[in-house]
Homo-oligomer: A and B are copies of this chain.
Amino acid sequence: MKRAFIIVAGGKGERMGGALPKQFLPLHGKPLLMHTLAKCHSWDSEADLLVVIPQAHCDYWRMLCREIGCSIPHTVVYGGANRFESVRNGLQATDCDGLIAVHDGVRPFVSLDVITACFEAAVAFGAAIPVMPLTETVRLLTDDGGSRTFDRSCLRSVQTPQVFAASLLRQAYLLPYCADFTDDASVVESIGATIGLVRGNPENIKITTPTDLLFARAFLSQ
């Protein structure tokens, strides 16, 4: 079955506190995004790989690929005004009619096993995402300006790749943009689909802060 990865790297890097968008931060001689691209390629070298980045950064990305010698075949797609638009642009750039994974460009450490589990569950459910239990106590902010302890056992923290039957994902992305769409599962469930949950891996964090980057360097140095 044909597979595709839409690798979303639309970030402009505000949270990292530097001028360089976080997907381009160097990690062991390669930008973060290139590690993520390599991970997807290593899982399925036949998959259609779409890298979605802001139009303004496309030339820079191509230069990085050329200079570093990244020979992984992939399509560069212009990002949109938000994540939803970026994924939609990615969808329009592939004719994949099998399973499509949407993956954050700044999550290079997803394990191959988790990718496999997501694709397998997507065959069964039409939609599958990796999740983790929350390790800290959680509080809920209440309407009166206060807060109270919230039972974290019924919460899950969501990772990517989020994998969907192509037809389902395309149908969901016909919707108009809504600010409640914080990930692809939220888009797909808004048309009534059920989302299968599989266990993610703890290292599969989104590298968005200097603290995350510190972890990323340590993890790669192992």
Contact = CB atoms under 8 A, between A and B. Distances in A.
B197 A137 contact: no
Which 7 residue pairs are nearest across A and B when measured between Cβ atoms?
A: A218-B218, A137-B158, A149-B186, A137-B183, A136-B157, A215-B215, A141-B154
Interface footprint category on A: 35 or more
Interface in A110-139: 131, 134-139
Q: How many copies does the complex hold?
A: 2
Contact of A208 (B135, B140, B197): B135
Contacts of A214: 215, 218-219, 222
A217 interface: yes
A14 interface: no
A2 B215 CA distance: 37
Contacts of A209: 202
